[in-house]
Amino acid sequence: MFYNSESRFPVLAGVLIVLVLIFTFLLVYTPHYDYPFPRHIDEWHHIGEAIRMEGGDYSGGVSGYRIGFHILLLLLSKVTNLVLIYQFLPAIWAAITALVLFFVVYKKTDRQFFTALFAMIFFASIKSNVNITGLWFFTPLSFSIPFIFLYIYFFTEGIEKQKKKFILASFGIMVFLLFFHPISVLFAIPFLLIYSLLNSKYVKKEWKFFSIFLIIPLVGILFYKFITKIPWESLTGKLTQTLQFRRGWGVLELDNSFFELYSLVGYLLAIIGLVIVFKNKKNLRRYLVYGLWPITVLISIMIFRIADVSYLSPYQRNLYYFAISLPILSAFGLSYLFKLINRGFIEDRQEIFKKIVLVIIFIIVIFFTFRPYIDIPKQVDLYQVIDNNDYQALLFLSTLPEKSVVMSTPRISTALYAVSQHTPVATYFFYGERKDAERFFLSEDCEIKEQILDNYDVKYVLSKFEINCGWNLVYDKGDYIYEID
C-alpha cells in the first residue's frame, strides 16, 4: 500500500532514526536557546504543585486531576534541580514520543520503514503556542501523547488480531493516564466506540472480556469524587457539568487558525492519506482508526465553534488532539506520492535518476513543512515569566529560614513558590487575587500599599524597582526585596 518496504540497511536505518530524533530535540528546544527557565505559567504551576505535595500543602481540586504528573515531577526533583532541568524536558519527551510513533507506524504498516520515519518528521513539525500549548512545553498534555499513540495502537491491534494481551495493554495505559491527564482518554471515546461498533462481531463474542473497560469510567468517577470531595448525591450532576467545556473554560479562547498547528503541506498530504485509508478496501480495517480519529475530533471542534460547548474534552485540547492525529496520515500521503512518482512518471528511468528526483521532492516537502514552524500570532507568542535577576532574588528568598507570604507582581509570583517555597499573594491565574497585587504596584501611595500588605499578612516585598515606603531593604542585586515589620 505504501512506498518502500523494510530497509535493507539496518545500520543506515538506525542512523536515520537517530538523526530525526536529534532534529526533533533541537527543534523543540528552540524556545530555550536563550532562556533557561520554564516558558509557560502551566509549567511553573505544575512545578509548584509537585513541591507543595512534598510539603503537605498540595492544592488538590482541579490541580489534583494531574496528581500522577505532579508525583512524577516530585520524584524528578529528588535527583536534580527541577526548575533548571525543566528547559530540557519538552525536547527530551518530544524525541521519546517521536520514537514511540515510529514504533506504532512501523508495526501498523507491516514494517514500512520510510512511512514510519516520515511520521516522525511530520510529528516534529507540529507547532506550539501559549494558548494551545504543545510540544514546546512539558505539561500533562504533552506527557500523554506517546501513551495516546500506544493505547490506540494496542486497542485496534488487539481487536484486529484478536489478541487479548494487546487489549489489556491498552486498558492498562488508559487507567494509567486517568491519573495524569484524564482528558487524554476521554477525547478518544467517540472514535474508539465507532471502531468497536464496526468490529462488533468480535466485541460481542468477547463481551465479558471487553466489560473490563467499564472499570475505566468507574475508576474515573471515584477519582473525580476523591479529588473534588463532592457528596454522592451531587456527583452525577456535577460530573455531567464538568464534562461540558463551555467557552470561557480556558484563560484565553480564540478562534484559532488550523495553520497555527500544522503546515499547509502537512494538511494536503494528510488529506491524501485520509483518502487512501478509506479508498483501499484491503487495508481499511487496519487503518480505519487513523481516519476516524481526526474526523471525530474535527466534528467536536466544529460543534464548539457553533454552540460554544465541547463535550468530554475542551476545545483547546481538541485542537492539539487533532494535530497529533495528522502526522500518520501525512506520512501515508507522502509515501503514496513517492510511490506514484517512482512507478508512474519515472518508471523507465535509471535508478540513480529516480533517487535524485525523490530526494529533491523530499527536500521541497520538508522545506515547506517546517518553514512556518516559528510563525506564531503575537497574541499567543512566547513570554518570559522571570529573568535571571528575578531567579537570583527568588533563590535569596529560598535561603530565608521562615517561609511566609511575599508580595510581587503576578508574573514573578508565578515562579515564586516553585523556586523559594514562599507563598505569593497572587499569580496570573492559579492563586490569589491578582487585582490586589496589580493595585499594589500601580499605586504610589504608601498607605494603600501598607493596607494591602496588612490584608495579606505579607512579610516580604519583591519588586523590579525601588519602593520608598520606609521598609527594610534586604536585597538589591537587580531586583529589590523588602522586609515588612
pLDDT (tens digit, 9 = 90+) per residue, 101-145? Answer: 999 999 999 889 999 999 999 999 999 988 888 999 999 999 999
pLDDT at 328 over 90: yes
Please, which pLDDT band fits residue 149 given cuts at 50, 70 and 90?
very high
Same domain, 252 and 360: yes
Other C-beta atoms within 10 Å of 320: how many? 24
β partners of residue 133: 129
Residue 262 belongs to some domain of the structure: yes
Predicted local confidence at residue 366, as pLDDT: 92
Same domain, 214 and 352: yes
pLDDT at 1 over 60: no
Predicted local confidence at residue 35, as pLDDT: 93
Model confidence, pTM: 0.91
Among residues 364, 380, 396, which one ends one of the domains?
A: 380
- Residue 102: closest CA among 1, 7, 186: 7
* Measured CA angle at 74 (ends 95, 188), to 5 deg: 50
CATH number at residue 403: 3.40.50.12610
**427-484 per-position pLDDT tens digit:** 887 788 788 999 999 988 898 999 999 999 999 999 999 999 889 999 999 899 999 8
Residue 3 belongs to some domain of the structure: no
Among residues 334, 351, 380, which one ends one of the domains?
A: 380
Same domain, 350 and 403: no
**255-300 per-position pLDDT tens digit:** 778 888 999 999 999 999 999 888 877 778 889 999 999 999 999 9
Same domain, 240 and 335: yes
Please, which pLDDT band fits residue 354 given cuts at 50, 70 and 90?
confident
Predicted local confidence at residue 329, as pLDDT: 96
Same domain, 436 and 291: no
Same domain, 184 and 229: yes
Please, which pLDDT band fits residue 347 given cuts at 50, 70 and 90?
low
Backbone φ and ψ for 457, nearest 5 degrees, come out as 55, 50
- Residue 417: closest CA among 14, 74, 47: 47
Predicted local confidence at residue 4, as pLDDT: 47
Residue 5 belongs to some domain of the structure: no
β partners of residue 406: 424, 460
Residue 301 belongs to some domain of the structure: yes
Could you tell me the residue range of the domain that residue 448 belongs to?
388-483
Residue owning grid cell 513539525 = 125
Residue 70 belongs to some domain of the structure: yes
**209-247 per-position pLDDT tens digit:** 888 989 988 988 888 777 777 788 777 887 888 788 887
β partners of residue 472: 483
Q: How far apart are CA 258 and CA 256, in angstroms?
A: 6
Q: How far apart are CA 215 and CA 219, in angstroms?
A: 6
Please, which pLDDT band fits residue 29 given cuts at 50, 70 and 90?
very high
Instruction: Report the number of distinct structural domains present in the chain.
Output: 2
Predicted local confidence at residue 6, as pLDDT: 47
- 480-483 and 458-463 as β-strands: parallel, antiparallel, unpaired? antiparallel
Sign of CA dihedral 320, 141, 128, 289: negative
Same domain, 408 and 327: no
Section 53-62 average pLDDT: 73
Section 86-109 average pLDDT: 96
Please, which pLDDT band fits residue 3 given cuts at 50, 70 and 90?
very low
Among residues 322, 351, 380, which one ends one of the domains?
A: 380
Same domain, 360 and 403: no
The average confidence (pLDDT) of the chain is 88
Same domain, 372 and 396: no
Q: Express as a percent the part of the chain with pLDDT over 90.
A: 56
Predicted local confidence at residue 350, as pLDDT: 62
Question: Measured between alpha carbons, how far is residue 327 from residues 126, 131, 209, 316, 322 in Å?
Answer: 8, 21, 32, 19, 10
Residue 75 belongs to some domain of the structure: yes
Same domain, 342 and 405: no
Predicted local confidence at residue 209, as pLDDT: 86
**150-172 per-position pLDDT tens digit:** 999 999 999 999 999 999 999 99
Please, which pLDDT band fits residue 7 given cuts at 50, 70 and 90?
very low
Same domain, 366 and 447: no
Same domain, 163 and 46: yes
Residue 4 belongs to some domain of the structure: no
Backbone φ and ψ for 304, nearest 5 degrees, come out as -65, -45
